[in-house]
Amino acid sequence: MMVVNTIKIAGTAILSILLAELLRMEFSVSAGIIAILTIQPTKKETIRTAAGRLLAFLSALVIAFGSFRLLGCSLEGFLLYLAIFILLCQWLGWYSSMAMNSVLISHFLTWERMDSAAVINEILLFAIGVGMGVLVNLHLHKDVDYIEELKAATDERIRRILYRMAERILDKEISDYRGECFVDLRASIRKAAGIAEANFNNQFGSSDVYDKEYIHMREEQCQILYEMYKNVRTIKTTPITAGQISGFFREIAGSYDKDNTGRELLVQFKKLEQEMKGLPLPADREEFEDRAKLFALLGSIEEFLLLKLKFMEKYVENGREKKKEGL
């Protein structure tokens, strides 16, 4: 990716300089520098940057015209321009435009004139540099394969966490149940969220939020799973409800396929919940406490399942997103 970006940026700068040379413009290298400064990681950032710098450039021309008219195309006039323009940039937050536009305005100082030919030369330098920077970013598209790969990796980590949780409910002797898996899961979610955000900013249609919301849903599920993990670690016995709940967790983990909305699992949850309520009372305090913890796990897993169902209803079943994802 770094090599591709290097070639893209360098190539854009070279093309801008060559175009400026072809048009026999003075200070043609400036067009290449402007192109480099215009290129941003995503389409939306590039457009926002270009729009902001256009306003800053027009303001710089107006300020320079007044300054040079008052004090002439001299060092004094340029210093007056700098004082006013930098103050304006700081006030409006145009920090990245200060140096670039000031370099263009300094060309008038070199020429010792600000006539129409000189102004047109600077306008064309700006237009070529910004225009090439914007054009080179228009080819950027969603990195569909990579985001799908990251989403699949995140789902697989959640699946493994559920399987391990099911094992720990039945086996209190598991010695390596310490939660390191959540470090990897959170890192996976952060990486996927970054790519989803970049993909979103490379689309001009603001409605394309499916991947962002998918990752956000997974992040919320991760938080629920972590609270469940902390609960499971404190269970000391194997109550009569442990086998059924462990089996249900395995069922959830095994249901990670492309078309699963979670509805059937929620139906199973309701049945299991009713069965739990109909069981005999615990024999002692320790069993009572552990059964209470297991029952709390059921409440958490219901919330976990409802998050996916709500997501599917919003982004799949209503036709906003035709491609269905796993549970």
* Radius of gyration of the CA atoms of the chain, in A: 30
* Long-range Cβ pairs for the range 259-268 (8 Å, 24+): 259/324, 260/326, 260/327, 261/308, 261/309, 261/312, 261/313, 261/316, 261/317, 261/327, 262/305, 262/306, 262/308, 262/309, 262/312, 262/327, 263/309, 265/305, 265/327, 266/302, 266/305, 266/306, 266/309
Widest CA span in the chain: 97
Please give the pLDDT value at position 161: 92
Task: State the Cα–Cα distance between residues 137 and 119, nearest whole angstrom.
Answer: 27
Which has more pLDDT, 189 or 285?
Answer: 189
Of the candidates 129, 173, 181, 179, the one whose C-alpha atom is nearest the C-alpha of residue 154 is 181
pLDDT tens per residue across span 58-94:
999 999 999 999 998 889 999 999 999 999 999 988 8
Task: State the Cα–Cα distance between residues 318 and 308, nearest whole angstrom.
Answer: 14
Asked whether the beta carbons of 222 and 158 are under 8 A apart, the reply is yes
* SS3 of 190-221: HHHHHHHHHHHHCCCCCCCCHHHHHHHHHHHH
Please give the pLDDT value at position 259: 61
Retrieve residue 151's tokens. Answer: 């989403």
Q: Is the pLDDT reported for residue 325 higher than 50?
A: no
Question: How confident is residue 322, by pLDDT bands cut at 50, 70 and 90?
Answer: very low
The DSSP symbol for 278 reads T
Please give the pLDDT value at position 314: 84
Asked whether the beta carbons of 103 and 30 are under 8 A apart, the reply is yes
Of the candidates 49, 210, 192, 204, the one whose C-alpha atom is nearest the C-alpha of residue 141 is 204
Please give the pLDDT value at position 223: 94
pLDDT tens per residue across span 8-44:
778 888 999 999 999 999 999 998 888 888 877 666 6
Query: How far, in Å, are 17, 49, 123, 251 from residue 14 at the CA level?
Result: 5, 20, 19, 58
pLDDT tens per residue across span 111-160:
989 999 999 999 999 999 988 888 877 665 555 667 788 888 888 899 99
Query: How far, in Å, are 109, 120, 172, 297 from residue 242 at the CA level?
Result: 82, 79, 11, 11
Retrieve residue 279's tokens. Answer: 């069981």
First-to-final CA distance of the chain? 31
Task: State the Cα–Cα distance between residues 237 and 289, nearest whole angstrom.
Answer: 9
* For the chain, domain boundaries: 2-137, 144-315
Please give the pLDDT value at position 137: 72
Query: How far, in Å, are 158, 261, 293 from residue 180 at the CA level?
Result: 13, 28, 22
pLDDT tens per residue across span 251-280:
999 886 656 788 888 998 888 888 877 767
pLDDT tens per residue across span 165-214:
999 998 887 777 888 889 989 998 998 888 887 777 666 554 567 888 88
Q: Where are the alpha helices (DSSP H) in 112-143?
A: 116-137
pTM recorded for the entire structure: 0.63
Contacts of 278 (CB under 8 A, 6+ apart): none
The predicted model gives 216-244 an average pLDDT of 90
Retrieve residue 276's tokens. Answer: 């739990």
Q: Hey, which CATH number is domain 144-315, 1.10.150.120, 1.20.120.940, 3.90.1150.10, 3.20.20.30?
A: 1.20.120.940
Asked whether the beta carbons of 314 and 241 are under 8 A apart, the reply is no
Retrieve residue 306's tokens. Answer: 């409802």
Asked whether the beta carbons of 133 and 50 are under 8 A apart, the reply is yes
Task: State the Cα–Cα distance between residues 268 and 212, nearest whole angstrom.
Answer: 29
The predicted model gives 308-321 an average pLDDT of 74
